Amino acid sequence: MKKILLVCLFMVAIATQAQETSNFKAETIEFIKLTGAADAFDGAIEQIGYNVPEAKKAAYIKEANTTLEGLYSKMADLYMEEFTQSEIKELVAFYHTDLGKKLATKQLSLTQKAMSFGQAWGMEVSQIAQKYNE
């Protein structure tokens, strides 16, 4: 009887842990979407499918969108390694504020501009390095 009780308690503990992990992942995916990633991925799907004929565009978009679930899941796993569930909840709350919403709409553009600054800087430093390699 004790063994049955222990097994039942163990199963309840596993089910509870699985539910908590599932909630954590769902919250993390919500956070990722709130940061503007969803819009960025939609834009990427549109851009990658630019040359898809109009007659096939809806089917392309539908199939391409099915790949997002796996991508969000992998990204959530990445974030879940770095942030606690409590921290993700705080981030979600932030992205629901006016400032968080503004950041989400500006983030992709800012990142792209910052990357171009970084590339230009890298080229500048490369030229300096070449000067010292001669």
What ranges do the domains of the chain cover? 2-96
pLDDT at site 87: 97
pLDDT at site 8: 46
| Residue 77 structure tokens | 């796993």
pLDDT at site 108: 85
Mean pLDDT per block of 10 residues along the chain (134 residues) reads 55 50 91 91 92 93 94 96 96 96 91 92 92 84
Q: For the chain, give the longest Cα–Cα distance.
A: 82
| Residue 45 structure tokens | 């799907």
What is the Cα–Cα distance from 111 to 107, expressed in whole angstroms? 6
pLDDT at site 2: 58
| Amino acid type, 14 | I
| Residue 121 structure tokens | 């800087």
| Residue 57 structure tokens | 């565009």
Residue 96: CB partners within 8 Å, gap ≥ 6? 34
Pick from 27, 20, 34: nearest CA to 76: 27
Distances (CA, A) of 48 to 13, 45, 52, 62: 45, 5, 9, 14
Q: What angle do CA 90, 87, 70 make, to 5 degrees?
A: 100
